[in-house]
């Protein structure tokens, strides 16, 4: 009987619940009948191919309303199990898929196995020189809408959907153990902050370990950095740029570097260690610039860093760069925030990247290098690379492409919408 009902729901029931047709995922909440969904044929194909999102407008049939975080079971046209995921009734993404294919049970063993898988796929990637990196990267690690970053022995868990809230009690103790965390800080995205504040999983809660008042200091490629894990952007640092920073270090010797949209000065410090003559951090945020200054000070025991002149400029980079031609830098880095938050902003963003590349080229001396990055998921890698090249060529410059890069191994991208990061480096000479 248990098995038969379970098969109907596409789940292997383990251990057998007393009322299998009324399986509850939250012991605090009264059991309610399993939530069943059918989706459009196109969505069905996407899910079968591994896509992790089901949009509300592709839901054809839902057995009943449901609360954020309830397990939703998807069935195909022939009434066979398709997938199981987390319901988010208030989001355009109605279901975030946890598992597709053969029926499975979502229980504590399932979470444990997913945590271990995320840890193990990163084994060997980082030594003690890099104590800051990403442990869990959302959908592409099987954890849709959830991120876990490491800063030394502190973990920062960031959730982007309310559907994780009812599961955190089961997941957090396992997370602490699997990743050997001495402290765990919870961050929630702004859209769910007030909802989360009503329960035990509020934004900035220290869910494990001692309280903190100062930023956490960690290492990246042997450099020391601070991360404001409670209030900083993302989880406190842009861990995804590590490999692009390493590349910048490799070409920085003797160069005057402009780091536009510098945040806490990550690129500048790598450039300084690589022997840059001078680095300029440019950011709108006084907070970010103060952090950049402290990060520089943390590393002055490194002779090349000590010998690099450093300055910070607080300004709107779009205005500052567009103001005038300076021809004063040998390496310009452009790493703006996302310029396309939604699909409708894509075309405008591509134009903005091109204009930004032009403004960056105007800062460069002959033979200088332009490093341009984009974190807009809505702009494809080829669109971005083409926009930067077009910008450089429109300045009458010959562009030699030195490097193209996308995602580092700790930020995997398993489906097209996850491919947000791209970076291109061009060496530019006046066309003769
Ligand atoms: N390159 C950084 C990350 C950049 S994140 C790193 O390696 O860590 C984007 C940064 O752009 C943020 O610090 C934000 O404060 C800044 N920013 C956003 N709008 C800006 C603007 N109009 N002018 C200058 N900086 C801006």
Digit-coded pLDDT (tens) for 187-227: 999 999 999 999 999 999 999 999 998 999 999 999 999 99
Give the DSSP letter of residue 277.
S
Instruction: Give, rounded to a whole angstrom, the gap between the first and last alpha carbons of the chain.
Output: 81
In ligand 1, which atom is closest to the CA atom of 241?
A: 7
pLDDT over 80 at 402, yes or no: yes
**379 Cβ inside 6 Å of ligand 1:** no
Long-range contacts of 143-149 (CB under 8 A, 24+ apart): 143/114, 143/118, 144/52, 144/53, 144/85, 144/86, 144/96, 144/97, 144/98, 145/86, 145/88, 145/96, 147/235, 148/118, 148/175, 148/179, 149/234, 149/235, 149/236, 149/237, 149/239
**151 Cβ inside 6 Å of ligand 1:** no
**220 Cβ inside 6 Å of ligand 1:** no
User: What distance in angstroms lies between residue 372's CA and the mean position of ligand 1's atoms?
Assistant: 13
List the chain domain ranges: 34-105, 108-216, 238-430
pLDDT at 33: 83
Q: Note the pLDDT tens digit of each residue in 302-331.
A: 999 999 999 999 999 999 999 999 989 999
Percentage of the chain beyond pLDDT 90 is: 91
pLDDT over 60 at 16, yes or no: no
Give the fold, CATH level 3, of 34-105: 2.30.130
**313 Cβ inside 6 Å of ligand 1:** no
Across the range 229-254, mean pLDDT stands at 98
User: What distance in angstroms lies between residue 335's CA and the mean position of ligand 1's atoms?
Assistant: 7
Percentage of the chain beyond pLDDT 70 is: 93
Q: Note the pLDDT tens digit of each residue in 362-372.
A: 999 999 999 99
User: What distance in angstroms lies between residue 36's CA and the mean position of ligand 1's atoms?
Assistant: 43
In ligand 1, which atom is closest to the CA atom of 287?
A: 15
pLDDT at 431: 86
**338 Cβ inside 6 Å of ligand 1:** no
**Whether the predicted model's global pTM rises above the 0.85 cut:** yes
Q: Note the pLDDT tens digit of each residue in 61-96.
A: 999 999 999 999 999 999 999 999 999 999 999 999
Average pLDDT, the chain: 93
pLDDT over 70 at 24, yes or no: no
**318 Cβ inside 6 Å of ligand 1:** yes
Across the range 24-51, mean pLDDT stands at 80
Q: Which class in CATH covers the domain with range 108-216? A: alpha beta
pLDDT over 60 at 240, yes or no: yes
**284 Cβ inside 6 Å of ligand 1:** yes
Q: Cβ(397)–Cβ(357) under 8 Å? A: no
Task: Identify the band that residue 101 occupies on the pLDDT scale cut at 50, 70 and 90.
Answer: very high
Task: Identify the band that residue 31 occupies on the pLDDT scale cut at 50, 70 and 90.
Answer: low
User: What distance in angstroms lies between residue 259's CA and the mean position of ligand 1's atoms?
Assistant: 10
Residue nearest to atom 13 of ligand 1 (CA): 263
In ligand 1, which atom is closest to the CA atom of 264?
A: 8
Give the chain's largest Cα–Cα span: 81
pLDDT at 184: 98
Instruction: Domain 238-430: give its CATH architecture.
Output: 3-Layer(aba) Sandwich (3.40)
**266 Cβ inside 6 Å of ligand 1:** yes
pLDDT at 25: 43
Task: Identify the band that residue 255 occupies on the pLDDT scale cut at 50, 70 and 90.
Answer: very high
pLDDT at 2: 34
**225 Cβ inside 6 Å of ligand 1:** no
**238 Cβ inside 6 Å of ligand 1:** yes
User: What distance in angstroms lies between residue 240's CA and the mean position of ligand 1's atoms?
Assistant: 14
In ligand 1, which atom is closest to the CA atom of 333?
A: 1
Q: Which residues contact 418 (CB under 8 A, 6 or more apart)?
A: 138, 139, 140, 377, 412
pLDDT at 432: 79
In ligand 1, which atom is closest to the CA atom of 375?
A: 5
Give the DSSP letter of residue 53.
E
Pocket mutation for ligand 1, best pick of 227, 287, 336, 422 (most atoms within 8 Å of C-beta): 336
Q: Note the pLDDT tens digit of each residue in 286-297.
A: 999 999 999 999
Of residues 126 and 17, more confidently modeled: 126
User: What distance in angstroms lies between residue 16's CA and the mean position of ligand 1's atoms?
Assistant: 52
């Amino acid at each position: 009987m248990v098995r038969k009902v379970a098969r109907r729901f596409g789940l292997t029931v383990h251990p057998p619940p007393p009322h299998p047709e009324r399986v509850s995922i939250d012991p605090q909440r009264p059991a309610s009948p399993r939530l069943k969904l059918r989706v459009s044929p196109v969505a069905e194909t996407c899910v079968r191919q591994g896509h992790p999102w089901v949009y509300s407008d592709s839901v054809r049939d839902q057995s009943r309303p449901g609360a954020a975080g309830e397990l939703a079971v998807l069935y195909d046209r022939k009434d066979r199990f398709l997938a199981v995921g987390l319901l988010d009734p208030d989001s355009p993404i109605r279901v975030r898929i946890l598992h597709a294919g053969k029926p499975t049970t979502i229980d504590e063993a399932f979470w444990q196995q997913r945590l271990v898988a995320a840890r193990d796929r990163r084994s060997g990637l980082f030594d003690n020189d890099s104590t800051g990196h990403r442990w869990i990267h959302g959908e592409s690690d099987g954890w849709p809408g959830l991120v876990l970053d490491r800063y030394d022995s502190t973990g920062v868990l960031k959730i982007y959907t309310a559907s994780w809230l009812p599961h955190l009690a089961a997941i957090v103790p396992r997370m602490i153990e699997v990743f050997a965390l001495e402290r765990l800080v919870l961050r929630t995205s702004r859209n769910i902050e007030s909802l989360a504040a009503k329960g035990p999983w509020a934004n900035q809660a220290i869910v494990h370990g001692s309280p903190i008042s100062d930023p956490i200091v960690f290492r990246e490629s042997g450099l020391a950095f601070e991360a404001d894990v409670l209030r900083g952007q993302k989880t406190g640092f842009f861990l995804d740029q590590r490999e692009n920073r390493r590349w910048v270090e490799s070409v920085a010797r003797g160069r005057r570097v402009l780091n536009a949209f510098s945040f806490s000065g990550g690129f500048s410090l790598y450039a300084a260690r690589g022997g840059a003559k001078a680095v300029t951090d440019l950011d709108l945020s006084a907070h970010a610039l103060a952090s950049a200054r402290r990060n520089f000070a943390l590393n002055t025991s490194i002779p090349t860093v000590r010998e690099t002149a450093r300055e910070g400029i607080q300004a709107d980079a779009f205005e500052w760069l567009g103001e005038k031609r300076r021809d004063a830098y040998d390496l310009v880095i452009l790493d703006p925030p996302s310029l396309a938050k939604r699909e409708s902003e894509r075309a405008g963003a591509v134009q903005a990247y091109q204009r930004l590349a032009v403004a960056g080229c105007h800062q460069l001396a002959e033979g200088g290098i332009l490093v341009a990055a984009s974190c807009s998921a809505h702009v494809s890698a080829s669109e971005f690379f083409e926009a930067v090249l077009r910008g450089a060529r429109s300045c009458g410059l010959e562009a030699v492409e030195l490097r193209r890069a996308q995602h580092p191994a700790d930020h995997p991208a398993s489906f097209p919408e996850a491919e947000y990061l791209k970076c291109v480096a061009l060496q530019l000479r006046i066309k003769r």
